[in-house]
Amino acid sequence: MECYPLLFDPILMERLWGGTRLHEVLGKPDRGAGIGESWELSGVPAAVSVVSNGLYSGEDLNTLIGTFGAELLGTRVLERFGGEFPVLIKFIDAREDLSIQLHPDDAMARRRHNSFGKTEMWYIMDADPGASLIVGFNRDVQPREYQEALAEGRLTELLHYEPVTEGDAYFINAGKIHAIGGGILLAEIQQTSDVTYRVYDFDRRDAQGKLRELHTEQALEAMDFKQRDDFCLAYDRTVTGGQVLADTPYFTTHFLHLTSDTHKDLSDRDSFTVLVCVDGTAEVVLKDGTAKVRRGETLLLPACAESLTLRTKSCKLLEVHL
């Protein structure tokens, strides 16, 4: 495989709650208001990413996996996931509150949907003053109490609201009730899954005037009713270099704050590497080519890359691998 950094065309998703910041702040194509998500790197069958640079321009991610296998994914990744790309990278612009929702774990998703579950993490790239997330319950809740509050329109009384600012990071495990609040722009790293159980949508209607589907029964089965303070990802924002943000069975994410050129040895990784630029710019150098990345762009480095050079004066990156 030609070993160079792969850029992909963003896949823009219209959402009821979407805004304009994906274009205005991150430079995505202008599709007007209501664009809520930019899928940066996706193997989801209905929305597979297509390479936009170099020798493989025009090829989609799943075709490259079928052609190059372990050279692209890594041997152990290929053995574990059988050719499915295991993570989905997005930018999300919430002009309004998202629905209150949760996701199933692997076992339930496999049983009900023939899919992976959905564990995810968020990095806040921009937030209006007073913006917040919903992350879990504000105390331990009994299932019957939850059902009564939902039926009576009092669900929000049971939920924990977490104020956010730029640079905050959060881990959202499967089963945790959550929602992204209005006024937040974030990067999302998640398992490859598009399974969401929506439990409350503020009685909003879509463009056809219809209420969106709720998934009350499935959510009840998947939900963790305990209050857990396990979602904030702490790191030292004053440190330059790299530090671990999240180390999970599904993905590992490092935060790289770089102020000078950096060289990294990847020879023992046996995994692809994803670089998500959340601030600044960098030139990414592999043995067969280079690519520039700026805020709001995502690169895929094939597993065959044994080393990496990052040329920059100021850049913040989320580095993701398995």
- The set of catalytic residues is 198
List the one residue out of 104, 85, 129 whose CA is nearest residue 251. Answer: 85
- Cβ atoms of 177 and 101 closer than 8 Å: yes
**Do you know the residue count of the chain?**
322
Phi and psi, residue 211, nearest 5°: -70, 140
Tell me 60's DSSP state: B
Is 143 exposed, middle or buried (CB count within 10 Å of its CB: 0-12, 13-18, 19+)? exposed
- Cβ atoms of 48 and 61 closer than 8 Å: yes
Rounded Cα distance between 297 and 272, Å, is 17
Rounded Cα distance between 141 and 74, Å, is 42
What radius of gyration, in Å, describes the C-alpha atoms of the chain?
20
Is 140 exposed, middle or buried (CB count within 10 Å of its CB: 0-12, 13-18, 19+)? exposed
Beta carbons within 10 angstroms of residue 247's beta carbon: 9
Cα angle at 289 between 287 and 291, to 5 degrees?
Answer: 130
Rounded Cα distance between 322 and 76, Å, is 9
Beta carbons within 10 angstroms of residue 238's beta carbon: 6
